[in-house]
């Protein structure tokens, strides 16, 4: 479980295309492009456990056309200047509006001629495991990286660091004092109880289905509820837009509400699947009995 971390004012940025890394989630990726390999070498491999990078969701132009305006446009040529992102970080609970920039940066490989749209919020991450490989016969260096999401951040300004991106950022997580104040809020307490009850129900159904022990339930008592919300949602197969919505849920009450809705939806889908399975098995059993009866009736004496 990720502990509190103090973020630097700038982070190297690794783009995630149509995917979101949430705090507390763990993901395994393979880096093959020259820019991502260079980023991993300089920001993670050489710094070992001290290395931090920023994971930023990115969507292609076609998908962004029908989406919200909380994106930064990025085109096909590398600008040596800086791309400023219009945002107001003082309002933590409100959605930050990002301006569309005319400055451009470059994406490697087959996507370098496409225009991409970066989300204006991301998650700082650290490497739990790094594995370096060399492809044959090309000799190309690749990395397998296991990343853990740590905390949300706001994007303020893009620049370049050699062949990869860097950004000026600010943390979006609450301070300890702010968190303690929120935890006294009656609405937050009620939402926390509802989320935990729904999560417990889901865990019980899954453990019964998979015949496993009760280790997962320990999380509900040992991990802060606002972190649990991210962890549970990260484990679901949900749309990119829903992932972004969860990432944007800086307000803890909003986050818990969204997480509870998604956990409940997952729970209901499991129950519906179980009912369908039971019905099918029942029909098969009935058909088998009828078949055996017909066989007995028609069996020659």
Q: pLDDT per residue over 30-56, tens digit each?
A: 999 999 999 999 999 888 777 899 999
Kind and range of the H or E element at 204?
helix 186-210
| 100 φ, ψ (degrees, to nearest 5) | -85, 120
Rounded-to-integer distance, Cα 142 and Cα 144, Å: 7
Rounded to an integer, what distance in angstroms lies between the CA atom of residue 58 and that of residue 14? 10
Question: 223-245: per-residue pLDDT in tens?
Answer: 999 999 999 999 999 999 999 99
Most confident region among 2-11, 133-142, 241-250 by mean pLDDT: 241-250
Q: What tokens appear for 89 in the block?
A: 């970080």
Q: What is the mean pLDDT of residues 201-219?
A: 77
Tens of pLDDT, residue by residue over 242-298, are 999 999 999 999 999 999 999 999 999 988 887 787 777 666 666 666 666 666 666
Structure pTM? 0.75
First to last CA, the chain: 71
- At residue 243, φ and ψ (nearest 5 deg) are -65, -45
Note the pLDDT of residue 300. 53
Contacts of 105 by beta carbon, 8 Å cutoff, 6+ apart: 74, 75, 77, 78, 79, 83, 158, 160, 165
């Amino acid at each position: 479980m990720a502990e509190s971390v103090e973020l630097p004012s700038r982070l190297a940025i690794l783009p995630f295309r149509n995917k979101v890394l949430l705090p507390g989630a763990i993901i395994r990726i393979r880096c093959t492009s020259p820019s991502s390999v260079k980023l991993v070498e300089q920001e993670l491999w050489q710094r070992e456990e001290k290395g931090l990078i920023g994971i930023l969701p990115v969507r292609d132009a076609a998908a962004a056309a029908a989406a919200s305006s909380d994106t930064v446009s990025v085109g096909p040529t590398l600008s040596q200047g800086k791309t400023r992102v219009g945002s107001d970080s003082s309002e933590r609970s409100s959605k930050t509006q990002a301006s569309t920039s005319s400055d451009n940066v470059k994406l490697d490989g087959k996507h370098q001629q496409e225009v991409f749209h970066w989300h204006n919020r991301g998650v700082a991450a650290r490497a739990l495991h790094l594995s370096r490989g060399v492809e044959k016969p090309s000799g190309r260096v690749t990395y397998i990286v296991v990343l853990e999401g740590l905390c949300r951040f706001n994007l303020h300004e893009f620049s370049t660091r050699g062949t990869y991106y860097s950004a000026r950022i600010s943390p979006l997580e609450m301070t300890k004092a702010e968190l303690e104040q929120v935890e006294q809020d009656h609405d937050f307490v009620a939402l926390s109880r509802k989320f935990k009850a729904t999560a417990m129900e889901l865990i019980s159904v899954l453990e019964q289905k998979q015949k496993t022990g009760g280790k997962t339930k320990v999380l509900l008592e040992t991990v802060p509820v606002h972190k649990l919300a991210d962890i549970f949602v990260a484990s679901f197969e949900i749309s990119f837009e829903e992932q972004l919505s969860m990432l944007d849920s800086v307000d803890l009450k909003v986050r818990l509400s969204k997480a509870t809705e998604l956990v409940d939806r997952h729970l209901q889908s499991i129950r519906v699947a179980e009912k369908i399975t039971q019905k099918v098995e029942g029909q098969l059993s009935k058909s088998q009995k009828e078949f055996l009866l017909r066989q007995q009736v028609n069996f020659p004496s």
